[in-house]
Structure 1
Amino acid sequence: MTRKRRLSRTLEVEPYHGPAGGWGSVQSLARTLTREYVPLKGARVLLNQNKTDGFMCVSCAWAKPADPRVFEFCENGAKATTWEITHKRVTPEFFAERTASELERWDDHHLEAAGRLTHPMRWDAATDKYLPVGWQQAFAEIGRELQALPPDSAVFYTSGRASLEAAFMYGLFARAYGTNNLPDSSNMCHETTSVALPESIGVPVGTCTLDDFERTDCIFFFGQNVGTSSPRMLHQLQEAARRGVPIVTFNPLRERGLEEFVNPQAPGEMLTDTPTRISSQYYQVRGGGDTAAMMGIAKALLAREARADPGYPVMDWAFVREHTHGWDAFALAVNRCEWSEIEQRSGLRRDALEAAAAVYAQAKSAMFIYGMGLTQHERGVETVQTMVDLALMRGNIGKAGAGICPVRGHSNVQGQRTVGITEKPEMVPADKIKELFGIDVPEGKGLTTVEACAKIIDRSVSAMILLGGNLVRSVPEHRLVEPAWRKLRLTVNILTKLNRSALVHGEVSYILPCLGRIEFDEQASGRQAVSMEDSTGCMHGSRGQVPAASAHLLSEPKIIAELAKAAAPGRSTIPWDDWVADYSRIRDAIAATYPDIFHDFNARLWQPGGFHRPLGARHRQWKTATGKANFIVPSSLASDPGAEARDQDVVQLITLRSNGQFNTTIYSYDDRFRGIYGSRRVVLMHRNDINRLALAEGSMVTLSTAVDDGVTREVQGLRVVAYNIPEGCAAGYYPECNPLLPLWHHEKKAKTPAAKSIPVRVRREGPR
């Protein structure tokens, strides 16, 4: 029997011993349908979620099967859907009763919980209120503001929500305007992947599909909380586990989705409450210790190879000789690693890593699945490449049941990059864009998200156009970014719901409310469909299911087209109005621009399971500088240099999402899987660290960043919660802990914020 601990007036802690899924998910779904006043409408809409002729989930990007289940949605996906089709509305009357400053004091949950935006609004400096504005007036004024600025002083940011059609148009708009400043949410999470994989295997995305789960003999799982971030993957993991496939997990925290799962759609499982064990081996690696753990596994494999019967090698020597480059240097580096350093850096014992290597050595095929636990470190690129090295050692790329599987976050974050949302001009077909659309793609590199924030701080950026997202809340360095953001000349937010980014405004600020993906999109040629790319590189169509939240909403393609006509008139040959009238014309344009991926786009749009983008690495065709897959030696066993040398009173903070959130959207204050209820203002610590730092569970503490660069970074009012986490590590929720993350603390090549390893000091507040 577990004991509930009340640590403050709002915070209760009760360890959760149930499985992921099960009755907990069913009850959570019932609550969210009721809370948004859509019990009947919501249930009907959910039946069409992730179906071939339905709509694609607006939250995570996990793959959509060709033969979907009756209920092809998860708990968090259902929350995202009901959150969008809510009956609650944010009208001009709502804004008339509240100043922007008053609304800014609302927390993230209550801002979005207020409901769907209904009218375009413009901030009025005299009253500090958002006032209604006509669409054409808004477009004309935004266009004048942008035309008055140097193009490179404007930034066009994109969240992962936008469809392929909208993202394609947005990229063309920015380049017609004259800039490659097209950062997006990839910069914040999997840009590390986009840098690491091309160097290693010649593609920027993963190589696995859902079919590989059915054929694999082994799964290695690194740094991703499937139960919260991509719960529908639990179906594939459960089926693999039931076939006896070993699932070897490396993660600092023990997450329920990686331990046990009860399928809510299986009556027998629900009636008997019999969970499936997911991970066969679970290793709580230290935060940032994954490179060391992987090198330990490689070292153990080489030791097994030295003892192996020549007729039954551990290594796939034929693959290594024919398809790889750099083996000798990698093998030398592995052999030079000392077990003592591997153990120290990883926090794992030698025998544990040898046990993981033994499982890998016996598998005919293996998949490597990972998330931001690998990418959000200073040397995350090297960590991902070391994981690829492990796959290459046994030929586990380019065959059935094997490959690399990065788990992307937002629903089309991968797809928008595929159709041109990138700050790197070399990543788009400039000649073809000139030929097709009369646009001269600027030659200069644009800004990443981190670079854009730095330019906002030094006043080099004057305008921020945000296609979705909540960038003010999600970026590092809040104490410097927010004051600088208020000095911007122009801020434009294209949103479905209110958030902090719309309230921390510039001198001229607009809220442009758009249709959501789940809503009917009526244009001149009739009801439209859109498309997106899932995490496995498959393209899917999506149709709206419900009437628009307001008659005053416009679609994202319509808003983008009108902004382009107002801000960049005559700078392209694009028939913007024709594209908006019929989205199939946008898809034809995408196909003409990227024919290798999108040929016959409209004809293939509704293919069950989606159509897959061509990936050379799946066929052992390596588009790398060497023409082969590359073994790449990490420069260090530490994913975050200097972490080991810091003072004993410093712990490494890992930022987390809860069971009650998606990105910066906070559905509730409860994190059921971690047993935390009523508050997100907590820091999870090992009991030994709590004692060592003279704290107690329930202590109120302040976290401060343990760096000396002249900037004070701290988060106050956090409660200490004793938790099963490696010593020397701590965990806190994102985005509440973002003020602790320095802007310069990022992956060195990809510039992804290193949010999984922030050095912090813990100071008790008040009397002891």
Structure 2
Amino acid sequence: MTDTRDLPKEAGPSGGWGSLRGIAEVFGSASPEMGALDTLRRQNKPGGFMCSSCAWPKPANYHHFEFCENGAKRTLWETTRDRCTPAFWEDHTVAELRDWADHDLEKTGRLTAPLRYDAATDRYVEVGWDEAYADIAATLKRLDPKSVVFYASGHAGLEASYLYALLARLYGNNNLPQSSNMCHETTSVGLQKVIGSPVGTIIWDDLYDTDCFFFFGQNPGTNSPRFLHPLKDAKERGAKIVTFNPIREQGLVSFVDPQSPYAMATGAEVTISDQYHQVRAGGDVAAMLGISKAVVEADDDAAQSGAPRVMDWEFIEEHTTGIDAFLEVCRNTSWSEVERESGLTEGELRNAAQVYMEARAVIGVYGMGLTQHAHGGLNVAMLANLLMLRGNIGKPGAGMCPVRGHSNVQGQRTVGIAEKAKLVPMDKLRELFDFDPPTEDGLHIVDAVQGLFAGSVKATISLGGNLVRAVPDMDRMETAWAAQELTVMVSTKLNRSHLFPGKTAYILPCRARAEKDAQATGDQAISIEDSFSMIHGSIGNREPASEQLRSEVGIVCDLGRALIGSRPRLDWDAWQGDYSLIRDLIEATYPDDFRDFNGRLHEPGGFWRVIPARKRVWQTESGKAVFTAPDRLNSVSYEDRADLFRLVTLRSNDQFNTTIYGYSDRFRGIEGTRDVLLMNEADMADLGLARDEKAALVSEEADGRHRRLGGLAVIPYEIPRGTVASYYPECNVLISIEHHDKISKTPASKSIPVRIERDGARP
């Protein structure tokens, strides 16, 4: 057992005054405009705007303040008074800015005018919108459509996303990779395979009907803090929460409700997890098999004694296939194998299984701790196996709950941003717009990056995002990105990707979601889809940061006019002037999902896009939910070795994806830096490493390329032996683009094989 006396101490529970201090620090750093607090008051409420941070649902019965620490930081960050005007480039070159930290780039403020890169001066210069569109269109017309990528970050609303996907197909390709390729594509592919639905199965009411949550690799304290309120409520009514995570995340340890005056005055904490199991990185398959093994053993004993069965055999026999092969693996796998691969004891896993068996309804919650592995698809299937043993899919208070990141990442897929042609109703597009859409599959983000490295991808249009920083193989990516014929980025602030411009490069500044979107027919609403497949309307109320900013819908329509032109059934002007017309098109294309779209747009709590698996309709090949017999007990793709560690990438509570708000990770006791390596003290002793000594990580990827990240201060931490942790996106330099999930190509960022070297003199 690790001696924790000298480990970094968390600054206390999640929520509470720590959360308010975190918001206050970003408030001071971001220098938001007047009225920012009123904007926060309207956040995630009917008639207000939907948070542009995570995709956590927006309840119909909302709190007075329906935003969390991360959501507040995101809004304050975008409503800053700081401006990055064209004059900024009079004093700075692109090459100079490559030495700036990501945080400092964004601190320059909101972009105010369209910019074109001038290679002669190594600066961006202001350009007129029409000139930019004409040049972009002329370049795209010279290129083979197969060589052009249309990327979307998961932020843009359904209206812009639908038209963006249409634009790519009118141009001639399905090269529509999206941020889900890097996080929950494992869910989209893995869940579809086993339950016939590519998204989660629960709705808001299930959070209050359940009596048990099982968490795997998801951290609500940092990634979806509003989740902590229903978890607190669940604990107060007696529900159980069991957590599996290599890192002890404070959001799943204890919580002080910032909405409660009593809790804020007294510091009253709610203990969140009844059991917290620090599973070895990549060991979730074994952990879930161990729990399942205990359930199967209990069911076998009940069958022999004539006691009530433990497994839900009525559900299994009516709704599933593959149970016999799975039971064989459960019975034949030894506890010693399970313990070795999971890093947990038989007793710990039996304790978790006991909670599971006593629960009436169980929700399985997971995040990228399950999806971002070389066998992440098996992780997802194993969680489905565990839930199906007791019929915990398709009944009130139970089901699969993948927690999504970007605010509309799920919705963009729903309305056509997909590289797989079979996911899009091409016949509907043909009928609505009188053209023959391409039927050849397009490029996944992994394919796109490989195409950049090979030189076959010549141009990228990026609707939001920071791809150079977000994807693996960052050093190679910087070189390949700049070699393109054209890069076009729709952005609100500067980021790392702007600093590696293509031969022709444009930055097109857009409005933030909290800002008014005035068009020909008045102020417009947009819509988003949350993690529970609920559709919400969103209306901004702030004045745009610059008169020159255009909406995401407006930019897509302008590009459409320039590149495709107007046709009898392509009315870019009308769509740009009235977004309700775009929603009519979405409804016509997806009538089952978007019935009466405009009529239901502002329904409190959103309206539900029906998920068949929740109704126990299994759209699989067999017409039933599928038990998966695991052929391995871990989710990594390499052999263990004495000098090899499994690296887990982390996000600080002071960041959102690649956006770094500051340098305070109070939950982990890390302040003022992101250059750290968290290690078990026993592992440090084995390597002779001292606290604060500088170390380097060297990746052990199979392609033979040398990848190294140095200058990391070693910090002793409560973490399983053989597992180490450091921050994303800095660690992307260590990951090969080939290191990804086998069925979905999701980069395997949660079990990177690394060696550890000293990186300088001892402190």
TM bracket (short chain): over 0.9
Aligned residue number for residue 85 of structure 2: 91
Contact 1:438 1:571 in 2 (8 A): no
CA distance in 1, matches of 2:5, 2:501: 42
- Answer yes or no: is the 8 Å Cα contact 1:147–1:568 preserved in 2: no
Letter in 2 for 1:244: G
| Pairing 1:212–2:203 present | no
User: Which residue in the other structure is 1:620 paired with?
Assistant: 616
| Equivalent residue runs for 1:497-536 within 5 Å | 497-536=493-532
After TM superposition, give the deviation of residue 707 of structure 1 in Å: 3.1
Unaligned runs of 5+ in 1: 6-12
Deviation (angstroms), 1:101: 1.1
State the partner residue of 2:693: 699
Matches within 5 A, 1:259-278: 259-278=253-272
Tell me what 2:28 maps to: 34
What amino acid does structure 2 have at the position aligned with 1:80?
Answer: R
**CA deviation map 1:310-361 (0-9, x unaligned):** 4521111110111111111111121121111111110000011111111111
Give 1:40 shift: 5.0
Equivalences, count: 758
Contact 1:649 1:693 in 2 (8 A): no
Structure 2's unaligned 5+ residue stretches are none
Which residue of structure 2 aligns with residue 383 of structure 1? 379
Corresponding position of 2:625 = 629
SS at match of 2:39: helix
Summarize deviations over 1:584-643 as a string: whole Å, max 9, x none. Answer: 00000000000000010000001110000111111111111001111111221110132x
CA distance, structure 2, for counterparts of residue 356 and residue 29 of structure 1: 36
Aligned equivalents of 2:124, 2:722: Cα separation in 1: 46
Q: Is the 8 A contact 1:121 1:512 kept in 2?
A: yes
Distance 1:734 1:599 in 2: 40
Name the SS for the 1:595 alignment partner: coil
Equivalent residues of 2:612, 2:618 under 8 A apart: yes
Mapped partners of 1:158, 1:760: distance in 2: 31
Q: Does 1:347 align with 2:348?
A: no
Contact 1:487 1:507 in 2 (8 A): yes
1:716 deviates by: 1.2
2:102 aligns with: 108
- Residue 646 of structure 1 aligns to a residue whose secondary structure is coil
Tell me whether 99-108 or 297-306 shows the greater mean CA deviation.
Answer: 99-108
Cα distance in structure 2, aligned partners of 1:502 and 1:113: 15
Which residue of the partner structure matches residue 286 of structure 2?
292
| 2: CA distance, partners of 1:569 / 1:548 | 28
Offset at residue 37 of structure 1 (A): 2.5
Kept in 2: contact 1:38–1:86 (CA 8 A)? yes
C-alpha spacing 1:14/1:300, structure 2 compared with 1 (3 Å): closer
Contact in 2 for aligned 1:439/1:571 (Cα 8 Å): no
Q: Check the 8 A contact 1:366/1:401 in 2, yes or no.
A: yes
Aligned-partner Cα distance in 2 for 1:467–1:739: 23
Q: Which residue of 1 aligns with 2:18?
A: 24
Counterpart of 2:354 in structure 1 is 358
Letter in 2 for 1:762: I
With over 3 angstroms needed to count, the CA separation of the structure-2 counterparts of 1:569 and 1:727, relative to structure 1, is: same
1:586 matched to 2:582: yes
- Alignment-derived partner of residue 57 in structure 2: 63
1:611-760 alignment, distance < 5 Å: 611-642=607-638, 645-760=639-754
Tell me, yes or no, if the aligned pair for 2:178 and 2:445 is still in contact at 8 Å: yes
In structure 1, what residue type is equivalent to 2:227?
M
Are 1:76 and 2:70 an aligned pair? yes
Q: Aligned letter for 1:481?
A: M
1:161 matched to 2:155? The reply is yes
Task: Please give the secondary structure, in 2, of the residue aligned with 1:598.
Answer: coil
Deviation of 1:307 (Å): 2.0
Tell me which residue corresponds to 1:542: 538
Q: Aligned partners of 1:163, 1:432: CA distance in 2, in Å? A: 21
How far is 1:3 from its partner?
A: 12
Q: What whole-Å deviation, never above 9, does each CA across 1:636-677 have from its counterpart, x for those lacking one? A: 1110132xx332111110000001000000000110100000
Percent of aligned pairs sharing the same letter: 53
Partner of 1:569: 565
- Work out whether 1:337 is the aligned partner of 2:333: yes
Q: What SS does the aligned partner of 2:664 have?
A: coil
Structure 2: distance between partners of 1:431 and 1:200: 27
Q: Aligned partners of 2:761, 2:544: CA distance in 1, in Å?
A: 54
**Match for residue 234 of structure 1 among 205, 218, 228:** 228
Q: Partner of 1:652: helix, strand, or coil?
A: strand
TM-score norm. by structure 1 comes to 0.97
> Which position in structure 1 is the counterpart of 2:168?
174
Counterpart in 1 of 2:547?
A: 551
Using the alignment, how far apart are the partners of 2:193 and 2:116 within structure 1?
A: 46
3-state SS in 2 of match to 1:401: coil
SS at match of 2:440: coil
SS at match of 2:200: coil
Among residues 373, 385, 389, which one is paired with 1:393 in the alignment?
Answer: 389
Q: What residue is the counterpart of 2:438 in the other structure? A: 442
Displacement of 1:695 in angstroms is: 0.9
SS of residue paired to 1:560: helix
* SS of the residue 1:94 aligns to: helix
User: Is 1:475 aligned to residue 471 of structure 2?
Assistant: yes
* Partner secondary structure for residue 730 of structure 1: strand
State the shift of 1:571 in Å. 7.3
Q: The residue matched to 1:596 in structure 2 has which SS? A: coil
Could you tell me how far apart the structure 2 residues matched to 1:389 and 1:243 are? Answer: 27
Q: Aligned partners of 2:282 and 2:564: how far apart in 1?
A: 45
Report the alpha carbon displacement of residue 281 of structure 1 after superposing the two structures with TM: 0.6
CA distance in 1, matches of 2:566, 2:506: 24
Q: Greater shift after overlay, 246-255 or 561-570?
A: 561-570
Relative distance call for 1:377 and 1:490 in structure 2 (3 A) is: same
CA distance in 1, matches of 2:434, 2:467: 31
- Aligned pair in 2 of structure 1 residues 128, 489: CA closer, same or farther (>3 Å)? same
What is the deviation of 1:569? Answer: 2.9
Q: Distance in 2 between matches of 1:607 and 1:671?
A: 37
* 1:176 alignment partner AA: L
Using the alignment, how far apart are the partners of 2:175 and 2:712 within structure 1?
37
Question: Does the CA contact (< 8 Å) of 1:383 and 1:634 recur in 2?
Answer: no
Range with greater deviation from structure 2 (511-520 or 562-571)? 562-571
CA contact (8 A) 2:190 2:743 kept: no
Q: Please give the residue correspondences for 1:601-612 in structure 2 after superposition, counting only pairs within 5 Å.
A: 601-612=597-608
Indicate the residue corresponding to 1:10 in structure 2: none
> Which residue of structure 2 aligns with residue 222 of structure 1?
216
Q: Distance in 2 between matches of 1:254 and 1:549?
A: 40
Structure 2: distance between partners of 1:38 and 1:149: 42
Tell me how far apart the structure 2 counterparts of residues 84 and 307 of structure 1 sit (CA, whole Å).
Answer: 59
Aligned counterpart, 1:8? none
* 1:27 counterpart SS class: helix
What is the aligned partner in structure 2 of residue 9 from structure 1? none
1:283-322 counterparts in 2 under 5 A? 283-308=277-302, 310-322=306-318
Amino acid at match of 2:35: K
* C-alpha spacing 1:739/1:326, structure 2 compared with 1 (3 Å): same
- For residues 221 and 179 of structure 1, the distance between their equivalents in structure 2, rounded to whole angstroms, comes to 39
The CA deviation at 1:160 is 1.1
Shift, 1:81, TM fit = 0.3
Contact 2:200 2:532 in 1 (8 A): yes
Q: Secondary structure at the match of 1:221?
A: strand
1:492 corresponds to 2:488: yes
Q: Secondary structure of 1:737's match?
A: helix
Map Cα deviations across residues 527-583 of structure 1 (whole Å, 9 max, x no partner). Answer: 000000001100000000200000000111111111122122367832111000000
Contact 1:96–1:130 (CA under 8 A) maintained in structure 2? no
Query: Please, which moves more after superposition, 710-719 or 656-665?
Result: 710-719
